[in-house]
């Protein structure tokens, strides 16, 4: 039996090719995913390990502060001991602000895994070494000065009375640094400042004598030739004593080697990023494999149909049903195993190539040189690929057992259409689909109308999955009808198309499976791009309302409005001239006292003045400024909340030039200042300086490019002005959506590619099956071009029906998904991503045509003489 199976396989090698390719792609996908997961794990480990390269020992769980450092330094054999302390600080130069982690400089620079590219490490207080890219962004070089803006806790120790003061200090850039091992790549790089400075900044964040209570990590270097084991114990003792003095948990104190430390930290982190990543991508690999399974099932169905005679003969000479089934399954196992191994090798090759390319590009993360082979990377793809093939062959194997011995005696007939699927399946699958769609609707209703976004989303997702399963399982019943309908449409165009349409209906199961494979991929791609388009529009509307100003340049941020310096004269005009800037509104402001019923007595805010019409020319949405009129103060919601202002109440503002009675109008304006008309502001402060520029951009999508030019213009004036771009946030949000969409679509594209191979597979199998028929058609006057045309129409019909249905389903899922996910952000918008839709249909059309090329070449080679052949 095995010999027979092998010889049959050899004869059908060409027919198995497409199925094999489908498995190869699917398993390669799995292999690459697992490899990438490994790379993430190992770069995580490497990056953690790099932080400790220079140290001989690492003390963990120690008490923070100088006491521990001193205690450890006193241990015999210890050369240096430094707490690894990082303080996040705001660094500014000109109009640019960067939030940066600053590392306390260790006593022994060898402990620092950073290299100096220019200048030197800080030597004196007030110096700082910056990562190269940060220095570039701040536009400074060694010797230049930057501003450190930090908050200092002042006042009494009574918690209620605590208040923050912003302190601005000048720091001198001592040098620039590179992070060759990516030690701090996960923290956005690290600047270095003298340990005393960094400790001082951290201390200023706490009350006197207070401690963060967070366990600290110390990096220790030892004198040459010291016994590590003994010193380790002595250090543990010293650190433990220091910890118990500080009232901390002594048992947490632990002294390890850098490698041990990196390993334990990395293993804490596994189950984090890499697992999420791997799971996420494996979902797409599973989709690709599902589609591959459909292609495989189709192939085996055709093989069994074509071998009916042989199978029947075998039954006549005494083979029993289980032998036939085993033969088919054995063939599937062999095919699956061989293809999976090829897929694995392809995956490993791809992974290695990707690493090489990645190392060539400067990704900021040092990638390993070679891929890491683990048992999982090798076994999982092979086992999964083989299993999927085997499972896909189950139904065809059962069909093989149904071949009656009598079939051997019947005259040679073209294999007839497969039996329709059972009624139970129809009822069940339709039920599942209906329930699924109902849940989907319920999910949307829950998250929009009922305001239960989390429940709504969960119900919606469950409904989406259920309905999709229902749709796919029931496809065999309704999809051929859709193809028939489409066939009738194209059939009107002539006999070739009519032949093609009739051909697609000869084996409804095969056509359904082929179209379904494509439908899966297209639906998911369509869903993602529809959801992204809807999300974009919904969020645009949301952003317009919330951040009506694209970019603001202001000198009165962070509550220091009292002594605000005005925006330099002429800056408004300069900005207005910049490319990409549509309009600029100069906004005068002053500091005022608020008074009114229920309003906090200490209420002091900034009041801005602007003309509603002029404001409208800058704002994306004037909604939050609609109430603005003489005698009205528009109060942003967050300001109203802080000071206890209620909508509609009478509010007395008092400025340097006197008081003003207004009516408060609380709106969603995203600002920390109240807004008045210019005349009202003049009543409060006749000499109110212009402290802000409101800038409208031509296209907020260009914010990432335009905002830096505004920053440059501001920096040139050397005024202490902040440039805030809501548009930047908006653009980066859009970029997140676009990037996520791009990645997801790229991952789904694998499934679509496999499905398209499936279309070609189905066509070429049909061509082989219809050899005699093609010859007959040629004998009665079908030209070669018509034969090619017939197959092209067949391919296009199968592909387009799958794609059109997929797009429609994708739109439904995309819209409902966006509605369920973004229902909280107001009325969800419904968008049709026309470009993507047309692209997908175009790809399906072209793919259908291309899929018919190879089969058509085989078909036209068939001589009409074969119609007359008897066997």
Partner 1 sequence: MDTTVYVPIPDDAPAAGARPAVTPAVRARALTKTYGRGEAEVRALDGVDVDFAAGRFTAIMGPSGSGKSTLMHLLAGLDSATSGQAFVGSTEVTGLNDKALTAVRRTRVGFVFQQFNLLPMFTAEQNITLPVELAGGTVDKMWLGTLVDTLGLGKRLTHRPAELSGGQQQRVAIARALIAQPDVVFADEPTGNLDSRSGAEVLSFLRRSVRELGRTIIMVTHDPAAAAYADRVVLIADGKIAGDITDPTPESALAGLDALRTVAAR
Residue 861 makes contact with partner 1 by CB under 8 A: no
The one segment of 25-33, 274-282, 305-313, 503-511 that binds partner 1 by CB under 8 A: 503-511
Single residue of 167, 434, 736, 865 touching partner 1 by CB under 8 A: 865
Task: List CB contacts of 772: < 8 A, sequence separation 6 or more.
Answer: 414, 866, 867, 869
Q: What is the dihedral of CA 738, 739, 740, 743, to 10 degrees?
A: 120
Q: What is the dihedral of CA 690, 165, 83, 43, to 10 degrees?
A: -40
CA 595 and chain centroid, separation? 48
Residue 79 makes contact with partner 1 by CB under 8 A: no
Secondary structure of residue 150 in the 3-state scheme: strand
Return the number of other C-beta atoms located less than 10 Å from residue 599's C-beta.
20
* Minimum distance of partner 1 from residue 834's CB (angstroms): 37
CA distance 553 to 776: 80
- Between 276 and 785, name the residue whose CB sits nearer to partner 1: 785
Nearest to 670 by CA among 603, 720, 725, 592: 725
* Minimum distance of partner 1 from residue 485's CB (angstroms): 16
Single residue of 360, 411, 570, 598 touching partner 1 by CB under 8 A: 411
User: What are the Cα distances from residue 547, in Å, to 620, 622, 696, 700, 819?
Assistant: 8, 10, 11, 11, 22
- Between 425 and 498, name the residue whose CB sits nearer to partner 1: 498
Q: Which residues, listed in sequence order, are joined to residue 608 by a DSSP beta bridge?
A: 589, 675
* Minimum distance of partner 1 from residue 425's CB (angstroms): 25
* Minimum distance of partner 1 from residue 506's CB (angstroms): 5
Q: Is 392 exposed, middle or buried (0-12, 13-18, 19+ CB in 10 A)?
A: buried
Which tokens is 304 given?
């069994």
Nearest to 609 by CA among 548, 554, 673: 673
* Minimum distance of partner 1 from residue 404's CB (angstroms): 17
- Between 72 and 777, name the residue whose CB sits nearer to partner 1: 777
CA distance 507 to 420: 9
Residue 420 makes contact with partner 1 by CB under 8 A: no
- Torsion-angle region of 686 (φ positive above 0: left; ψ -120 to 50: alpha; else: beta): alpha
* Minimum distance of partner 1 from residue 701's CB (angstroms): 53
- Between 14 and 494, name the residue whose CB sits nearer to partner 1: 494
The one segment of 244-252, 364-372, 648-656, 860-868 that binds partner 1 by CB under 8 A: 860-868
* Contact assessment for residue 91 and residue 146, using Cβ atoms and an 8 Å cutoff: yes
* Minimum distance of partner 1 from residue 482's CB (angstroms): 18
Residue 736 makes contact with partner 1 by CB under 8 A: no
* Minimum distance of partner 1 from residue 489's CB (angstroms): 17
* Minimum distance of partner 1 from residue 423's CB (angstroms): 23
CA distance 871 to 866: 9
Task: List CB contacts of 374: < 8 A, sequence separation 6 or more.
Answer: 34, 38
> ∠616-620-622 over CA atoms, to 5°?
50
The one segment of 185-193, 411-419, 638-646, 698-706 that binds partner 1 by CB under 8 A: 411-419
Residue 786 makes contact with partner 1 by CB under 8 A: yes
Residue 505 makes contact with partner 1 by CB under 8 A: yes
Single residue of 506, 576, 701, 771 touching partner 1 by CB under 8 A: 506
The one segment of 103-111, 402-410, 466-474, 498-506 that binds partner 1 by CB under 8 A: 498-506
Q: Which residues from 614-673 bind partner 1, rule CB under 8 A?
A: none
The one segment of 103-111, 465-473, 811-819, 857-865 that binds partner 1 by CB under 8 A: 857-865
Q: Which residues from 476-495 bind partner 1, rule CB under 8 A?
A: 494-495
User: How many secondary structure helices (H) and strands (E) does the chain include?
Assistant: 25, 20
- Between 396 and 487, name the residue whose CB sits nearer to partner 1: 487
* Minimum distance of partner 1 from residue 272's CB (angstroms): 58
- Between 410 and 562, name the residue whose CB sits nearer to partner 1: 410
Binding mask 766-785 for partner 1 (x = CB under 8 A): ------xx--xxxxxxxxx-
Nearest to 376 by CA among 37, 91, 606, 122: 37
Residue 503 makes contact with partner 1 by CB under 8 A: yes
- What phi and psi values does residue 146 have, to the nearest 5 degrees? -130, 165
Counting every residue, how long is the chain? 871
* Minimum distance of partner 1 from residue 785's CB (angstroms): 9
- Between 398 and 498, name the residue whose CB sits nearer to partner 1: 498
- Between 105 and 773, name the residue whose CB sits nearer to partner 1: 773
In the block, residue with structure tokens 């690493």 = 355
What is the size of the binding site for partner 1 (CB under 8 A)?
Answer: 31
CA distance 37 to 827: 39
* Minimum distance of partner 1 from residue 415's CB (angstroms): 10
The one segment of 291-299, 462-470, 636-644, 859-867 that binds partner 1 by CB under 8 A: 859-867
Q: Which residues, listed in sequence order, are joined to residue 254 by a DSSP beta bridge?
A: 60
* Minimum distance of partner 1 from residue 780's CB (angstroms): 5
Residues at the interface with partner 1 (CB under 8 A): 411-412, 414, 416, 494-496, 498-499, 502-503, 505-506, 772-773, 776-784, 786, 863-865, 867-868, 870
């Amino acid at each position: 039996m095995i010999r027979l199976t092998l010889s049959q396989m050899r004869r059908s090698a060409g027919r198995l090719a497409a199925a094999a390719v489908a498995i190869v792609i699917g398993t390669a996908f799995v292999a690459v995913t697992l490899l990438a997961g490994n790379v993430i794990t190992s770069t995580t480990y490497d990056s953690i390990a790099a932080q400790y390269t220079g140290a001989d020992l690492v003390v963990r769980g120690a008490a923070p502060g100088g006491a521990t450092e001193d205690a450890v330094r006193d241990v015999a054999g210890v050369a240096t001991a430094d707490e690894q302390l990082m303080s996040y600080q705001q660094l500014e130069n000109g109009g640019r602000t960067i939030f940066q982690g600053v590392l306390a400089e260790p006593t022994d620079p060898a402990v620092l895994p950073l290299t100096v590219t220019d200048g030197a490490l800080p030597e004196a207080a007030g110096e700082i070494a910056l990562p190269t890219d940060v220095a570039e962004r701040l536009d400074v070089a060694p010797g230049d000065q930057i501003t450190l803006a930090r908050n200092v806790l002042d006042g009494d120790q009574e918690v209620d009375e605590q208040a923050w003061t912003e302190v601005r200090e000048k720091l001198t850039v001592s040098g620039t640094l590179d992070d060759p091992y990516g030690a701090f790549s996960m923290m956005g790089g690290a600047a270095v400042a003298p340990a005393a400075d960094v400790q001082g900044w951290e201390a200023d964040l706490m009350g006197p004598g207070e401690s963060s209570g967070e366990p600290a990590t110390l990096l220790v270097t030892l004198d040459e030739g010291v016994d590590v084991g003994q010193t380790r114990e002595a250090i543990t003792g010293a650190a433990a004593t220091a910890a118990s003095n500080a009232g901390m948990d002594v048992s947490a104190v632990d002294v390890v080697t850098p490698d041990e430390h990196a390993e334990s930290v990395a293993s804490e982190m596994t189950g984090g990023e890499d697992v999420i990543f791997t799971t996420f991508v494996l979902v797409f690999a599973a989709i690709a494999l599902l589609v591959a399974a459909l292609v495989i099932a189709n192939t085996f169905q055709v093989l069994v149909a074509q071998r009916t005679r042989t199978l029947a003969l075998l039954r006549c000479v005494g083979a029993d049903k289980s032998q036939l089934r085993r033969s088919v399954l054995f063939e599937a196992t062999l095919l699956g195993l061989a293809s999976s191994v090829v897929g694995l090798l392809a995956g490993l090759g791809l992974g290695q190539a990707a690493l090489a390319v990645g190392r060539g590009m400067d990704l900021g993360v040092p990638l390993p040189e070679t891929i890491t082979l683990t048992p999982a990377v090798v076994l999982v793809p092979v086992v999964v690929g083989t299993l999927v093939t085997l499972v896909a062959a189950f139904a065809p194997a059962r069909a093989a057992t149904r071949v009656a011995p009598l079939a051997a005696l019947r005259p040679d007939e073209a294999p007839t259409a497969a039996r329709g699927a059972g009624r139970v399946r129809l009822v069940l699958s339709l039920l599942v689909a209906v329930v699924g769609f109902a849940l989907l609707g319920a999910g949307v209703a829950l998250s929009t109308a009922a305001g239960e976004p989390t429940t709504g989303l969960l119900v919606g997702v469950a409904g989406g999955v259920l309905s999709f399963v229902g749709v796919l399982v029931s496809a065999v019943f309704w999809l051929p009808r859709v193809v028939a309908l489409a066939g009738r449409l194209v059939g009107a165009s002539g006999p070739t198309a009519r032949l093609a349409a009739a051909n697609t209906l000869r084996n409804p199961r095969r056509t359904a499976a082929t179209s379904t494979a494509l439908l899966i991929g297209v639906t998911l791609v369509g869903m993602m791009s529809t959801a992204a388009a809807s999300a974009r529009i919904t969020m645009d509307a949301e952003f317009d309302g919330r951040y009506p100003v694209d970019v603001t340049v202001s000198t009165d941020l962070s509550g220091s409005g009292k002594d605000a310096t005005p925006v330099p004269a002429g800056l408004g005009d300069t900005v207005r001239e910049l490319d990409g800037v549509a309009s600029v509104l100069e906004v005068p402001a002053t500091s005022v006292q608020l008074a009114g019923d229920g309003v906090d007595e200490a209420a002091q805010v900034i009041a801005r003045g602007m003309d509603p019409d002029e404001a409208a020319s800058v704002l994306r949405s004037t909604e939050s400024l609609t109430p603005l009129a003489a005698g009205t103060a528009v109060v942003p919601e967050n300001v109203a909340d802080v000071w206890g202002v209620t909508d509609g109440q009478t509010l007395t503002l008092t400025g340097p030039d006197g008081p003003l009675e207004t009516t408060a109008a609380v709106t969603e304006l995203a600002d920390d200042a109240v807004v008045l008309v210019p005349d009202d502001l003049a009543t409060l402060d006749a000499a109110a300086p212009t402290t802000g520029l409101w800038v409208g951009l031509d296209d907020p999508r260009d914010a990432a490019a335009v905002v830096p030019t505004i920053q440059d213009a501001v920096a040139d004036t050397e005024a202490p002005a902040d440039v805030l771009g809501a548009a930047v946030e908006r653009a980066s949000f859009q970029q997140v959506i676009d990037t996520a969409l791009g990645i997801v679509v790229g991952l789904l594209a694998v499934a679509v590619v496999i499905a398209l191979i499936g279309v070609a597979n189905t066509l070429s199998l049909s061509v082989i099956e219809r050899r005699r028929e093609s010859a007959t058609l040629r004998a009665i006057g079908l030209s070669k071009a018509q034969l090619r045309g017939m197959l092209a129409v067949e391919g296009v019909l199968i592909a387009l029906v799958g794609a059109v249905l997929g797009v429609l389903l994708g739109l439904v899922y995309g819209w409902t998904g966006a509605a369920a996910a973004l229902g909280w952000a107001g009325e969800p918008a419904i968008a049709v991503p026309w470009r993507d839709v047309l692209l997908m249909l175009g790809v399906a059309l072209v793919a259908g045509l291309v899929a018919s090329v190879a089969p058509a070449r085989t078909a036209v080679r068939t001589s009409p003489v074969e119609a007359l052949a008897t066997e």
